[in-house]
Amino acid sequence: MSVEKSRSAEVLQAVLKATGSESQPLLLSGGTVLTRNPLMGDWEQADVLLGGSLIVGVGPGLLSAAADDNMLVIDCAGCVVMPAQTDFTAPAGTGAGTLTCGNPADIVVMRIADSDATPTGPVVNRPSHLDIVLAQGQVQVWNGRPVDLPAVEPTGSTVKSDQDHAYAGMWIDDTGFLHQELLSDGRYDETRGGRPHAYQGCYWIQGDRIEYLDDLGFWAFGEFRDGVLHHAGYRLTRG
């Protein structure tokens, strides 16, 4: 018996067929399983078995019966398998979703880390760590994308931006300490306390909100209100 490790379109079609009207058992195998059921506990490595719209088995060792029961096995190693609807502020098992046998198969599979092929450093719109979403056993998200959308690999930055904004130019805070220049090419350049190029990076504007992605890797934001740019505790006006 082979364990399917890919998230290809062919595997998705097999999963969709398995979870259709003629259900084939689906086994989410080898992930870190968080049941949110205090009686069951959690496992660093275990399996979750789906039969149609319900969870029918949870725990280690289910993989050994995969061939006997004609299970379709999805390798979830390197992922966290958990309930799709969970209130982490509530005590476990009290009104929150749990991976309990007999419950609806509402499950998310989250990848713990990026794949080896993912570029290092900040990558705008990198593939989501949300790998799979199942609602009552039906696949809603596969490989981080809704199943009704074509799988298109991101090509560079696809952050939406208002190209017609009128905010480009120099912005200076009340004290003169911070100078932030919003360049017309979508880059920004900050001077702090007379120190040029203290921060530089990309920015995007949606309406009156500005998002920053600094070259150092961190994200920040600001808002334009009544001719004032409010950003990280600073109030900036046009210089």
User: Where does the pLDDT of residue 2 fall: very low under 50, low under 70, confident under 90, or very high at 90 and above?
Assistant: very low
Instruction: Give the pLDDT confidence of 27-80 residue by residue, as tens digits.
Output: 999 999 999 988 888 999 999 999 888 899 999 999 988 888 889 999 999 999
* Residue where the block lists tokens 């060792």: 61
pLDDT digits (tens, 9 = 90+) for 134-170: 999 999 998 888 887 444 444 444 455 666 788 999 9
Q: What is the pLDDT of residues 92-135, one digit of tens each?
A: 665 558 998 888 999 999 998 776 666 666 655 555 788 899 99
SS (H, E, C) 79-130: EEEEECCCCCCCCCCCCCCCCCCCCECCEEEEECCCCCCCCCCCCCCCCCCE
Specify the DSSP element, H or E, that contains 169.
strand 169-173
The tally of domains found in the chain comes to 2
pLDDT of residue 24: 86
Domain of residue 202, CATH code:
2.40.128.290
Q: Is the pLDDT of residue 9 over 80?
A: no
Question: Do both 68 and 113 map to the same domain?
Answer: yes
Q: Which domain holds residue 57?
A: 9-146
Q: Which two tokens stand for residue 95?
A: 């009104």
Of 217, 151, 153, 210, nearest to 183 by C-alpha is: 210
CATH number of the domain enclosing 114:
2.30.40.10
